[in-house]
Chains A and B, each alone.
Chain A
Amino acid sequence: MDGGGSRPGGGPMRGERPLCSPPDWLRAWAGGRGDKMAAGSGAGTGPGTGGEKMAAGGGSGPGTGPGGACRHHEQLAACGSRAKYREGRRPRAVKVYTINLESRYLLIQGVPALGVMKELVEQFALYGAIEEYHALDEYPAEQFTEVYLIKFQKVQCARVAKKKMDERSFFGSLLHVCYAPEFETVQETREKLQDRRKYIAKATNQRDCFVLMKMEGPKKTDPAHCRQWSTLGSCATSDWDPSCFPGSHGVSQNMGRPSGSQNQSLLTLPQYDSHCAETSAYCGQSTSLTRNVSPGGHGPPVPLIRQRTAVADSGVGRFMPRTTHLQERKRRREESNKFALIETNTDNTEVIIGPQLPEIPKVDMDDDSLNTSATLIRNKLKEVAESVSRTPVEKPDNSSAKPLVKQRRRI
């Protein structure tokens, strides 16, 4: 607004788009407004400009040429005049986020020039797979600090990383993290817009979706599994309150993101397309934690939770991650082996001993004499096992287990 005043009039429609050759926006930017921005890059933010920008959103932007490309990197001053009920947990500037402002690219300013790129990247990689990263040497930076560009594989990961890392202290300096959509190629911009389209389509048809997903539960693709799992995991481990969002679709957990409610937990990735590496890693983890929980497709977290408490020890006929399946199978096999041999009940009431007995003769050695001796050995084993395990009713402890192991080797 006010910034616009300085512009050489002209029909606004045309007046502003300068046609200086696009390529060197960066350099031009650095030259044109470098000093000002440098101030903005620090955590402090030049009070004068920042404050003004806050309201105006830097109305001046595009006119001043390439500078416009980066104006949104200037940290806006937090708003101090909000009504009580509108105050978030963290002080924030007045700003509206749209898909245009988001990006897979994050610009990280205020990194101390200590050769800590590795640490920085490691830190950001916690939030998802990073596709590219490098230092922006020409980028105006405060003295003794560096600016880095990190490109995530998914916007979602960038989103989480930004949320977690912005204003974080890093080697004694406060990081300023912002989206850097101006580094996108046309194709990347296109994909970003398309992703949003898909997401909304999915989210707004959620009821149908939900039913469908439920039906085809186990057919879901891997990333989706991950998402489910991570959502679930975060339910369990974070302060995220699922009851607030019945019917939520794994969407952003805050009613309106920038307005406040910040989720502080490290592992909340319930947003739509989180198939980050980290997520899958976490997948495995939560798998082992809550082995028997089986999210049926694409449901809201609440039913999931309920399921979790309801489901006891049977994962039959419902979706389970592959790893869980394998673990489960292994466990079963081990158990059945044990019982086949011991033929006694441990504290696990679910294993029915009766039906397992007949299974033993199934082992066919393809030879009568072998079968005969196998039967002999088996009977002998049974005798031994019985005599030992009858005495300690509840626990077939080591004393019984040891000889059995030996026996099995012989077979």
Chain B
Amino acid sequence: MELGRLEYLQALVTEFQVTDSSEAKEQVLANLANFAYDPKNYEYLRQLQVLDLFLDMLTEDNETLVEFAIGGLCNLCLDKTNKDYILEANGVEPIINCLSSSNEETVMSAVTTLMYLTTPQSRQQTTALPVVECMLRFSLSASRRLSNLATVFLEDYCTPLQVEEAQNLSKHTAVGIPLPKD
């Protein structure tokens, strides 16, 4: 059965690479991302280089593919090996870019992924100033899910100094939406 599992995942990856149908691509990617939820599959997913596949999809134009890919990364990035792999592959940058997606699920997954990828070494990258600034905005979002998540990010992964810095910065930048008065 273990063999069957690998073969099945292999079939998915193959279909993903071979098919021309974007619908099938989305479905298969969703499948793979869901398989990435279960640690039992990690070994196989690594073997089949699904992590690279997810990372590649982050820069696609098709937002659905991006959503599923970042969902997959969010699902598997807690594993130490996977985490190291993503960090090695410079995955943080495309993940940060997902924060600006208009798809809420994509944003949510990206925030969580950044949290999970934060290590003493990667901290500087995952909690870079623009990210913190972004989280500040999210923490004011009307979407409770998003604001909760961003709040956790700010409270648990950033230093008060970082937050303050970001606050000051956003005061001076006129981009985007107005901030509410405190």
Contact B179 A13 (CB under 8 A): no
Stretch of A165-173, A216-224, A255-263 at the chain-chain interface: A255-263
Contact A4 B105 (CB under 8 A): no
Stretch binding the partner chain, chosen from B7-15, B85-93, B121-129, B158-166: B7-15
* Contact residue among B31, B144, B151, B177 (Cβ-Cβ distance under 8 Å from A18): B177
| Cβ 8 A contact of B112, one of A56, A100, A201 | A100
Interface string of B152-182 (1 = CB under 8 A from A): 1001100000000000000000011111100
Chain A residue numbers with a CB within 8 Å of B103 are: 1, 4, 56-57, 59, 61-62
Within 8 Å of chain B (Cβ to Cβ): is A236?
no
Residue of A nearest to B36 (CB): A256
Assess whether A86 is interfacial by the CB under 8 Å rule. yes
Is B33 an interface position by the 8 A CB rule?
yes
Q: Interface 1/0s, chain B 64-84, versus A by CB < 8 A?
A: 100110011011001111000
Interface: A89 (CB within 8 A) = no
Chain A residues, Cβ within 8 Å of B100:
11-13
Whether B142 contacts A68 by the Cβ 8 Å rule is: yes
Chain B contacts of A60 at CB under 8 A? 102
Partner of A59, one of B5, B63, B75, B79: B63
- Give B164 Cβ to nearest chain A Cβ, in Å: 19
Which B residue's beta carbon lies closest to that of A28?
B142
Contact across chains for A98 and B142 when beta carbons are under 8 A apart: no
A193 within 8 A of B: yes
- Contact in complex: A200, B140 (CB < 8 Å): no
Expressed in whole angstroms, the Cα–Cα distance for A206 and B40 within the complex equals 10
The reply to whether the CB of A348 lies closer than 8 angstroms to some CB of chain B is no
| A258, chain B: closest CB distance, angstroms | 5
| Residues in A whose Cβ lies below 8 Å from that of B143 | 25, 61-62, 66, 68-69, 182
Task: Decide: A19 and B134 in contact? CB cutoff 8 A.
Answer: no
- Using a Cβ–Cβ cut-off of 8 Å, how many residues does chain B contribute to the interface with A? 73
* CB < 8 Å neighbour of A200 from B63, B79, B148: B79
Chain B residues within 8 Å of A11, by CB: 100, 175-176
Shortest C-beta distance, A118 to chain B (Å), equals 29
Contacts of B145 in A (CB 8 A): 69, 100, 181-182, 184, 189
Q: Are B38 and A56 in contact (CB under 8 A)?
A: no
User: Are A63 and B102 in contact (CB-based, < 8 A)?
Assistant: yes
* B26 CB-CB contact with A under 8 Å: yes
> Is A243 an interface residue, CB under 8 A from the partner?
yes
Q: How far is the CA of A190 from the CA of B68 in the complex (A)?
A: 23
Interfacial chain A residues near B74, Cβ < 8 Å: 98-100
Complex: how many Å from CA A13 to CA B98?
Answer: 9
- CB–CB A189/B148 < 8 A: yes
Q: Which chain A residue has the least Cβ–Cβ distance from B108?
A: A100
**Stretch binding the partner chain, chosen from A77-85, A108-116, A130-138, A349-357:** A77-85
Determine the interface band of chain A, counting residues with CB < 8 A from chain B: 35 or more
- Chain A residues within an 8 Å CB radius of B95: none
**With a CB–CB cut-off of 8 A, which chain A residues contact B1?**
243-246
A185 on interface, CB distance cutoff 8 Å: yes
Report the bound CA distance from A83 to B11 in whole Å: 11
Q: Is the CB of B71 within 8 A of A55?
A: no
A241: min CB distance to chain B, Å? 8
Chain A 280-299 interface mask (CB, 8 Å, partner B; 1/0) = 00000000000000000000
Instruction: Check B102–A59 contact: CB distance below 8 A.
Output: yes
Binary CB contact string for chain B from 32 to 67 against chain A (1 if under 8 A, 0 otherwise): 011111111110000000000000000000111001
State whether B102 touches A15 (Cβ < 8 A): yes
Query: CA separation between A252 and B75, bound complex, in Å?
Result: 14
Known: A1-B103, A56-B63, A94-B27. A200 touches B41 (CB 8 A): no
B23 to chain A, nearest CB (A): 6
Q: Is the CB of A182 within 8 A of B39?
A: no
Q: Are B176 and A256 in contact (CB under 8 A)?
A: no
Contact assessment for B35 and A255 in the assembled complex, using a CB-CB cutoff below 8 Å: yes
Once A55-B23, A255-B8 are accepted as A-B contacts, the answer to whether A17 and B141 lie under 8 Å apart by CB is yes
User: Which residues on the A side are within 8 Å of B75 (C-beta)?
Assistant: 96-99
The interface residues of chain A lying within 8 Å CB-to-CB of B39 are 200, 203-204, 206, 249, 251
Given contacts A55-B26, A98-B112, contact A186 B151 (CB under 8 A): yes
Q: Do B24 and A99 have beta carbons less than 8 Å apart? A: no
Any chain B CB within 8 A of the CB of A71?
A: yes
CA distance A407 to B167 in the complex (A): 88
A211-258 with Cβ < 8 A to chain B:
243-249, 251-252, 254-258
Kindly list 4 other residue pairs between chains A and B, CB separation below 8 angstroms, not including A4-B103, A14-B137: A68-B142, A97-B71, A100-B105, A252-B38
User: What are 12 A-B pairs at a CB distance below 8 A?
Assistant: A10-B176, A13-B100, A15-B102, A57-B67, A57-B103, A62-B146, A68-B104, A96-B75, A97-B37, A97-B71, A185-B148, A249-B39
* Residues of A in contact with B (beta carbons under 8 Å apart): 1, 3-4, 7, 10-22, 25, 28, 55-57, 59-63, 65-66, 68-69, 71-72, 79, 81-83, 85-86, 94-101, 181-186, 189-190, 193, 196-197, 200-201, 203-204, 206, 243-249, 251-252, 254-259
Give the 4 A-B residue pairs with the shortest CB-CB distance, closest first.
Answer: A14-B176, A13-B100, A96-B71, A256-B35
